[in-house]
Amino acid sequence: MAAYCTLTDVEAYLPTITISATGTTPTDAQVSGYITLVTAEIDGVLRSIGIDPQPTDADSLGYLKVTCVVGAAATVLAAKFGQASEEAKEVRTRYQLMLDAIRDGALHIEAASDRMHFGEGFTLNSLGEARAAAVTKETTF
């Protein structure tokens, strides 16, 4: 399992948070662990919709990288300020919306193994309810 993002990516997303080998909460080793956990969570969502192994096309990898950065950042903020902090809750909500977009087929992700396209024509969410697109061409991130 290759991680979708790096420690440097998370540090760039959180420019006001210091992350180092020692003396910070969390440490760089802990953040690297968060990245591994978030990557596993994303892979679980992908497998739940029939995408395995990890996508390899540039567009999918770009979105999955951003999703991983946001998920790891949410965990960093929770470690630094607590789960109930506004900073952590706001970023965690964004991460959950990004996972939902993957899960609900709102993204066009190309599976590397058989070149099938997932997301096109899906009109129901994971609960079987009619879905509104979570991400559209007009969505700004």
Q: What are phi and psi of 48, to 5 degrees?
A: -65, -20
Separation CA 51–CA 46 (nearest Å): 5
pLDDT digits (tens, 9 = 90+) for 78-94: 999 999 999 999 999 99
| Sequence-separated (6 or more) residues with CB below 8 Å from residue 89 | 83
Is residue 104 situated within a structural domain?
Answer: yes
Is residue 52 situated within a structural domain?
Answer: yes
Structural domains counted in the chain: 1
Q: What is the pLDDT of residue 121?
A: 46
Domain of residue 68, residue span: 7-15+25-118
Is residue 41 situated within a structural domain?
Answer: yes
Separation CA 61–CA 68 (nearest Å): 10
pLDDT digits (tens, 9 = 90+) for 46-79: 988 888 777 888 888 899 999 999 999 999 999 9
Q: What is the pLDDT of residue 117?
A: 43
Q: What is the pLDDT of residue 70?
A: 97
Higher pLDDT, 130 or 20: 20
Separation CA 80–CA 110 (nearest Å): 36
Is residue 130 situated within a structural domain?
Answer: no
Q: What is the mean pLDDT of residues 14-41?
A: 94
Is residue 46 situated within a structural domain?
Answer: yes
Is residue 20 situated within a structural domain?
Answer: no
Q: What is the pLDDT of residue 116?
A: 42
